[in-house]
Structure 1
Amino acid sequence: MTITAEIIHPPGTPFGRTEADARARAARLEALLGDPYDPANPHGLQTLFAADGRGEPPAATEALLTEAGFGAELVPAAQGGLLTRADLLARALRPVFRRDVGLGFGYGIISLFAAGAVWTAGDAQQRRDVAALLLNGGRATILHHELAHANAILRHEFSARRAPDGYRLDGRKDVIINAARADLQVVYARTDPARGPRSHSVLLLDPARAGAGRLRHLPRVDLPGMRGALFSGLEFTDCPVPAAALVGAEGDGVGVALRVFQVNRSVICGVVTSAVGTVLHSAVRATTEGRTGPLAKRWHKPLAGVFADLLACDAMSTVVLRALSLLPTQAHVYAAAVKYVVPDLLREDLEELAGVLGARGYDHASPEYGALDKLVRDLPVAGLGHAGSASCQAVLVPQLRGLAERSWFAEQEPPTELFRSGAELPDLEYGLLGIAGGGDFMAASLVGSAERLAPSRGAGGTLGALADLAEAFVTELRALREQCRRLPTSGAALTDPAVVVLSARYAGVVGAAGVLGIWEHQDGTDPFLADPAWAVLALSRLAGRLGVAVPDLPDSIQEQILDELVRRYQEGRSCDLDAVSYAP
């Protein structure tokens, strides 16, 4: 693969390493995409839904994103792009994902998932080539082995055997996003028949140079969701791959995958929350349209509750995305925990919103209400289904006993920059990401937050409820410590349903730590976020799901959160921590 085009920043694109820079890039993208509810907008929801219904990519919107320099977001700044930190990347991409998860995946972010191997272990020439490809509007796709995703659509594997001039690639995979239109294929191929951590290697393949008869494109596969994305298969037969296509060293594939997947799973959580925010706006519209008085009482609980969940999901995602930069050797456990918790919360939220929207939520042609049906279908295909949860369990379960014995209630709290908005953080370095060990900084953060809130326990009011909830989660962590210390050291624990339940409880506990950390380090510029009400409702809902004791909550909390939600809807603001303005 040789790309010689000049690398330039997209004109007019703000560049920098601050949250303000990322918000400016997101605002620019919002303005380019226009009002999503305008039926005449060629990039609006009605057009995107129609393309999904036809099973076609939205060509005009993809062309707009290419012209806008979307690919620069996926390329590290050191290689001429805009990518500095994962949390800033998620903020910059949300305008696309809040409109269409299939577009966000099918058009672009899958290229980041593929290129991550090069950003992790590629040599200087490979980095230059892949950067130039993405910066000039090209696409990359990923041909992964099963380990990194534990996903049923990824069962087939590829094998590569050594040859005098490099490798010969064989194998087949039936379901690959952008298989037919990617300019670069990043292949995780088995290079050692023996099982073990050195079994796979990463190869870069230019499909245009595969050779006649060596690469066969298989038919398109229609999936229930992301219908506008293009899934099809590939089959390689004795396909030559040059030695220079090897990323890193032979046998590095598993380690590369485990590092890259931390970024991938965390970014997914950071962007798909915005898509559920679109559905929440639809629900508020449905309950307020044509009414002059207050909302009907029956809608208060689901609307306020889902809003609190979205704030919690954003808090958890923001913390892990920052941790990838600030605490790279330790972030892998929390990345798996967040990917475990957030999809479950979002799925349950969509079920609640379906009850609010009723039949309107399944009106495919409606830009105001059609997002629910599409998102229910899209999320599992985007890796937020049960198979994705299984991959997170595979990370968490083997570490529970060690964390219980050595880390919980013994480790130091993480730096406050992990939670503080506007804090300066190092750039993301894929190669620094750890894949094992490293302790549990979020459990330490939970204990610290509970200790600082302890004087308010039992005092009543919103702050008292928050203090009681924090202590309840710490009590749950103590119980987990006793149970996890008795876990077997063999791999049999992975298939034990009781141990899987422990991993779910643990993920919820450290997820709660993210919410507490974000609330505790508010700078007061947003009175709503500085008030503990949203954190109380979010933690009470999470505690209820885990069977953790929930204190009595003040009656005013639900109304306070509902008022903020309606205000944001009326002002066209997002349902996340940033409350950014949408396109008019």
Structure 2
Amino acid sequence: MTTTAETVYAAGAGPGRWETDALARAARLEALLGDPHDPANPHGLRALFAADDRRTPPAATEALLAESGLGAEFVPAEYGGRLTRADLLARTLRPVFRRDVALGFGYGITSLFATGAVWAAGSTRQRRDLADLLLDGGRGTILHHELAHANAILRDEFTARPTPEGGRRLYGRKDLIINAARADAQVVYARTDAARGPNSHSVFLLDPARAQTGTMRHLPRIETPGMRGALFSGLEFDGRSLPEDALVGRVGEGVALALRTFQVNRSVICGVVTAAADTVLHSAVRAATTGRTGPVARRWHKPLTGVFADLLACDSMATVALRALGLLPDRAHVTAAAVKYVVPGLLRENLEELATVLGARGYEHGSPQYGALDKLVRDLPVAGLGHAGTAACQAVIVPQLRHLAESAWFAEDEPPPELFRKGAELPPLDYRLLGIAGGGDFMAASLIGSAGRLAPSRGVGGQITALAELAEAFVAELRALRATCRLLPPSGASAFGDPAMCVLSDRYSLITAAAAVLGIWEGQDGTDPFLADAAWAVLALSRIGERLGIPVPDLPDGCTAHLLDELIRRYRAGLSCDLDATPLAQ
């Protein structure tokens, strides 16, 4: 059990301590989980793969996470937990996701998704009760269309009808809910207004231990092609009573709460799943170097360095979105959607590239050295990183494009530099401050600012000139996008299914990705020579530019070699392939 007295925040630790404490907890968790490649490790990949084969949660590892008090990571510090900043939460959870995406979802992160609405709009009693539940090792789950998908909560899966005596009764069913059979609290998005529109749904907090009239029936478990160790099953409600105090926030606030809180979910997912891809990249480096006395074969240089650059880009995007949730909470929603739009696509492409390096070994089922590719390919779509998740992000981005083109792009100031600076003291994540409309586009402003500062370097030569040319190319693409989006109809939502609108979402999101890479590179203080050098940013931006179809300069001499050297160094030193270069258990 994790009590308030056991958290450092109860003693008044401030922002200066938050990052230090989070990194220490992540390191402790990494050590507790042990060497993932050790076949004898009960929490290693072999044991986790075996649980996946059995389609059961890894009981020993879940017990370890419970003992470590992981549930406190999802509870805001003001209620006795450890949740201060979203970016620090992601860094704390990476040791779990580095080993098993299903474990990360099944044990804990689903509780974060469920509880967001309560932290944003719940009563003081609801927040305290939920905090106590999670701090005691309990779980929460969320009931809407699909795991981590925001696009379909408007479907009539649950209905909460008012009763003459007060309160409501809940009807409907959902067949695929993670942890439905073992959640200690359920957060339900249910229709409360027959008319379609933004006020059609409300949110309710259910306590399964609290006796209510009506029925709640548990449906059979459903086996999924990925995340096979997670427990998915269904719930059916037939008139289950909902007392007045089960309502979270106001009647009709469900859609707004989903839009506000799901931006946290999207950003956190992107911040943690890169750790799972990191494991596959380490496996590929192992495959390319084992048994060789000389350098890595030239044919593997491009896929290895390209994926390394992409993972750094993904981490840059996720880090910026996560920091913005606290620093710019009223303006982060479009950036969060753009990041969630880009990162899954890059990761899927990365796994395909690494498959060429790993070959058949990447599909050695259960192999602790190489089997991570096989499992992650199956897990990512089930984790909400497939087509439906992309559509949800388009539904956020598309309606904003004309407004941004007319009032934000090339017209607003840059965000604070702390957004990109490692070690900067940032405000805590406060769900109550999150916004969902308007607010401009600070990432576009950052891109324009970065390009302007790099412009004098365009004739210098080498990596810095390539970086300056790439920055200017992305600004030119933003300018062209502005011209196109100014011609859109007043409401882009009606054109959401139009393939042309999807192309605009692609272009916008990749421009945002480029802005994040440039911002993180500019924010370096020189303590990490590799990140301070422009080579990684040049390769990352070149790959983003190629996906966007804009002209990119030839890679400068030594760019690929520089990344390959760093990748091999990190592999041999047991360091992660993200921005932090975290020591890994081995």
When normalised by structure 2's length, the TM-score is: 0.96
- Equivalent AA in structure 2 for residue 220 of structure 1: R
**Distance verdict in 2 for CA 1:535–1:544, change over 3 Å:** same
Provide the rounded CA distance (Å) in 1 between the counterparts of 2:331 and 2:136. Answer: 34
CA-CA distance at 1:6 after TM superposition:
5.8
Report which stretch shifted further, 557-566 or 243-252.
243-252
> Residue 102 of structure 2 contacts residue 228 of structure 2 at CA under 8 Å; is this kept in 1?
yes
When normalised by structure 1's length, the TM-score is: 0.97
1:347 and 2:348 correspond: yes
**Distance verdict in 2 for CA 1:12–1:160, change over 3 Å:** closer
**Distance verdict in 2 for CA 1:378–1:232, change over 3 Å:** same
Aligned to 1:183: 184
Provide the rounded CA distance (Å) in 2 between the counterparts of 1:232 and 1:213. Answer: 20
1:216 and 2:217 correspond: yes
CA-CA distance at 1:197 after TM superposition:
1.2
**Distance verdict in 2 for CA 1:6–1:243, change over 3 Å:** farther
> Residue 10 of structure 1 contacts residue 68 of structure 1 at CA under 8 Å; is this kept in 2?
no
Aligned to 1:280: 281
Where in structure 2 are the equivalents of 1:392-411 lying within 5 Å? 392-411=393-412
- Equivalent pairs, count: 581
CA-CA distance at 1:212 after TM superposition:
7.3
Provide the rounded CA distance (Å) in 1 between the counterparts of 2:398 and 2:146. Answer: 18
**Distance verdict in 2 for CA 1:287–1:147, change over 3 Å:** closer
Provide the rounded CA distance (Å) in 2 between the counterparts of 1:501 and 1:84. Answer: 36
- Equivalent AA in structure 1 for residue 564 of structure 2: L
Where in structure 2 are the equivalents of 1:17-416 lying within 5 Å? 17=15, 18-145=18-145, 149-150=149-150, 157-163=157-163, 164-209=165-210, 211=212, 214-416=215-417
Provide the rounded CA distance (Å) in 1 between the counterparts of 2:551 and 2:371. Answer: 37
Aligned to 1:9: 6
CA-CA distance at 1:157 after TM superposition:
1.4
Per the alignment, in what secondary structure is the counterpart of residue 275 of structure 1?
Answer: helix
**Distance verdict in 2 for CA 1:462–1:330, change over 3 Å:** same
User: Given the alignment, which residue of 501, 504, 517 partners 1:502?
Assistant: 504
**Distance verdict in 2 for CA 1:282–1:571, change over 3 Å:** same
> Residue 487 of structure 1 contacts residue 493 of structure 1 at CA under 8 Å; is this kept in 2?
no
- Equivalent AA in structure 1 for residue 297 of structure 2: A
CA deviations 1:24-48 (Å, max 9, x no partner) are: 1100101111111111111011000
Provide the rounded CA distance (Å) in 2 between the counterparts of 1:556 and 1:583. Answer: 31
Provide the rounded CA distance (Å) in 1 between the counterparts of 2:192 and 2:510. Answer: 38
Provide the rounded CA distance (Å) in 1 between the counterparts of 2:148 and 2:347. Answer: 22
CA deviations 1:128-172 (Å, max 9, x no partner) are: 100000011000000025798256799661110112241110010
Aligned to 1:549: 551
Provide the rounded CA distance (Å) in 1 between the counterparts of 2:99 and 2:442. Answer: 34
CA-CA distance at 1:13 after TM superposition:
12
1:422 and 2:397 correspond: no
> Residue 147 of structure 2 contacts residue 178 of structure 2 at CA under 8 Å; is this kept in 1?
no
CA-CA distance at 1:8 after TM superposition:
4.5
CA deviations 1:320-375 (Å, max 9, x no partner) are: 10000000110001000000011111110000001110110111221010100100
Per the alignment, in what secondary structure is the counterpart of residue 241 of structure 2?
Answer: strand
CA deviations 1:174-218 (Å, max 9, x no partner) are: 100000100101001111111111111111112233557601111
Provide the rounded CA distance (Å) in 2 between the counterparts of 1:190 and 1:213. Answer: 18
CA-CA distance at 1:460 after TM superposition:
2.4
> Residue 210 of structure 1 contacts residue 239 of structure 1 at CA under 8 Å; is this kept in 2?
no
CA-CA distance at 1:9 after TM superposition:
2.9
**Distance verdict in 2 for CA 1:382–1:179, change over 3 Å:** same
Per the alignment, in what secondary structure is the counterpart of residue 239 of structure 1?
Answer: strand
Report which stretch shifted further, 455-464 or 214-223.
455-464
CA-CA distance at 1:555 after TM superposition:
2.5
Provide the rounded CA distance (Å) in 2 between the counterparts of 1:147 and 1:436. Answer: 24
Per the alignment, in what secondary structure is the counterpart of residue 168 of structure 1?
Answer: strand
CA deviations 1:257-310 (Å, max 9, x no partner) are: 111101000000000001000000000000101111100000000000000000
Aligned to 2:566: 564
**Distance verdict in 2 for CA 1:258–1:140, change over 3 Å:** same
CA deviations 1:208-257 (Å, max 9, x no partner) are: 33557601111111111100000011000000111111111111111111
**Distance verdict in 2 for CA 1:16–1:564, change over 3 Å:** farther
Per the alignment, in what secondary structure is the counterpart of residue 19 of structure 1?
Answer: helix
Per the alignment, in what secondary structure is the counterpart of residue 38 of structure 1?
Answer: coil
1:539 and 2:541 correspond: yes
Fraction of identical pairs, as percent:
74
Provide the rounded CA distance (Å) in 2 between the counterparts of 1:502 and 1:21. Answer: 41
Aligned to 2:450: 449
CA-CA distance at 1:458 after TM superposition:
3.9
**Distance verdict in 2 for CA 1:313–1:148, change over 3 Å:** closer
Provide the rounded CA distance (Å) in 1 between the counterparts of 2:146 and 2:324. Answer: 26
CA-CA distance at 1:492 after TM superposition:
2.8
Provide the rounded CA distance (Å) in 2 between the counterparts of 1:130 and 1:436. Answer: 28
User: Given the alignment, which residue of 528, 531, 537 partners 1:529?
Assistant: 531
**RMSD over aligned Cα, in angstroms?**
1.9
Aligned to 2:474: 473
Provide the rounded CA distance (Å) in 2 between the counterparts of 1:276 and 1:545. Answer: 20
Provide the rounded CA distance (Å) in 1 between the counterparts of 2:282 and 2:98. Answer: 11
> Residue 393 of structure 1 contacts residue 503 of structure 1 at CA under 8 Å; is this kept in 2?
yes
- Equivalent AA in structure 2 for residue 417 of structure 1: E
Per the alignment, in what secondary structure is the counterpart of residue 128 of structure 1?
Answer: helix
> Residue 462 of structure 2 contacts residue 557 of structure 2 at CA under 8 Å; is this kept in 1?
no
> Residue 116 of structure 2 contacts residue 431 of structure 2 at CA under 8 Å; is this kept in 1?
yes
> Residue 306 of structure 1 contacts residue 349 of structure 1 at CA under 8 Å; is this kept in 2?
yes
> Residue 81 of structure 1 contacts residue 135 of structure 1 at CA under 8 Å; is this kept in 2?
yes
> Residue 3 of structure 2 contacts residue 135 of structure 2 at CA under 8 Å; is this kept in 1?
no
> Residue 202 of structure 2 contacts residue 252 of structure 2 at CA under 8 Å; is this kept in 1?
yes
- Equivalent AA in structure 1 for residue 322 of structure 2: L
CA deviations 1:423-469 (Å, max 9, x no partner) are: 11111111111101000000000000000000111432100000000
> Residue 154 of structure 1 contacts residue 173 of structure 1 at CA under 8 Å; is this kept in 2?
no
- Equivalent AA in structure 2 for residue 582 of structure 1: L
- Equivalent AA in structure 2 for residue 547 of structure 1: G
Provide the rounded CA distance (Å) in 2 between the counterparts of 1:356 and 1:430. Answer: 43
Per the alignment, in what secondary structure is the counterpart of residue 383 of structure 1?
Answer: coil
Where structure 2 has 5 or more consecutive residues not aligned to the other structure, the ranges are: none
Provide the rounded CA distance (Å) in 2 between the counterparts of 1:518 and 1:23. Answer: 19
